[in-house]
Structure 1
Amino acid sequence: MSRVINTDGSGKQRTQLSKAVLIAIRELAAKKQIDDEARDMAAFLSLALSQIDATVDTSVKAWEKRDYWLKADQFRMQWAWAQVSAKKVREAVLLNDWGELAVLMPEIAARLNTIKLPKSNTVGKPWTGALAELKRRGAGDKMTR
């Protein structure tokens, strides 16, 4: 029996999410006024950064199985900003604090500066309905506390 190879690994997912985050930042920065789509884009940033953070542990598990503890810890530290940024963006979106969001967007883009983007948007609009999802998850968090 041959080995099963997962072609959609956590690294690929992290890269795709990073591209989507950068495209959302680019589109959001081009917005002249704050509308429902802008709110969805901002909420998408938080959700995508949370998903990026979730992929880190998946990547690190393979290294930890081989006792590459130093490499695993370095990778975790390299991506630790994603969880912190996701929480900050989430709070800014839920509090409708666009000033804070304007400060956070360049910080996030700077962290993802190694990702190369196409000139046009090739991911579509993954942020559609993200605000409703963020609020739904926020309500779930309050219930578990």
Structure 2
Amino acid sequence: MGRIVRTGSTPAKRRHQHRRSCAEVLRLLAKRNLAGDFDREARDMVAFLVWNLHGIYRTIDESAQTWDEKGYWRKAEGLRDRWLWARTAARELEEMIRSDRWEDVAPALVPLVPQFQDVTVRSITRNADWWCGAHRALLNQSRPASAPPTEADSSGFVS
């Protein structure tokens, strides 16, 4: 009998998709003049970025739980620590969006750029359909920024 290969959606695959989405959106936002002046599309893009940052950390947590179940708690905690920046950035950006502090968003995006330096973006494959309505959805979401995201939170906004 041959080896069974899982070709479905793995945490690593989903993490790569989220990282690709973040890299593309950051590149598109960098091309705009965002000196505190965010139009509707730019607000949607930042909210989409928040959804994807939450998605990145969710996949990390899934992978870490697998290591925990195998008894490799050090490895699991190391993984969570290495990727803590994604959860922290998502929470900070989400709080800025919810409190309408758009002048603080552009400076908060700058430290994210090096995190996606290894993602090669030769052409933009995501268009406005990906992030359209993300800002409104984020504001309508009832959970506070400090609560961990759930899988249902990303419906329609995952990459």
In which range does the TM-score fall when normalised by the shorter chain? 0.7 to 0.9
> How far apart, CA to CA, are the structure 2 residues paired with 1:102 and 1:34?
9
* Counterpart residue number, 1:10: 11
Q: How many residues align?
A: 140
> Which of 62, 75, 87 is equivalent to 1:83?
87
Q: Deviations over 1:62-113 (max 9, x none)?
A: 2222222221111000111111111111122223323321111111112222
1:28 maps to amino acid: L
Does structure 1 residue 30 correspond to structure 2 residue 31?
yes
> How far apart, CA to CA, are the structure 2 residues paired with 1:28 and 1:63?
36
* Counterpart residue number, 1:121: 124
Q: TM-score, normalised by structure 1?
A: 0.85
1:121 maps to amino acid: I
SS class of match (2:118) = coil
Q: Give the fraction of aligned pairs with identical amino acids, expressed as a percent.
A: 29
Q: TM-score, normalised by structure 2?
A: 0.78
Structure 2: runs of 5+ lacking an equivalent: 148-159
Q: CA deviation at 1:6?
A: 4.7
Q: CA deviation at 1:37?
A: 0.4
Does structure 1 residue 52 correspond to structure 2 residue 49?
no
> Which of 97, 102, 112 is equivalent to 2:101?
97
> How far apart, CA to CA, are the structure 1 residues paired with 2:30 and 2:118?
19
Higher helix share: 1
Structure 1 stretches of 4+ moved >6 Å: none
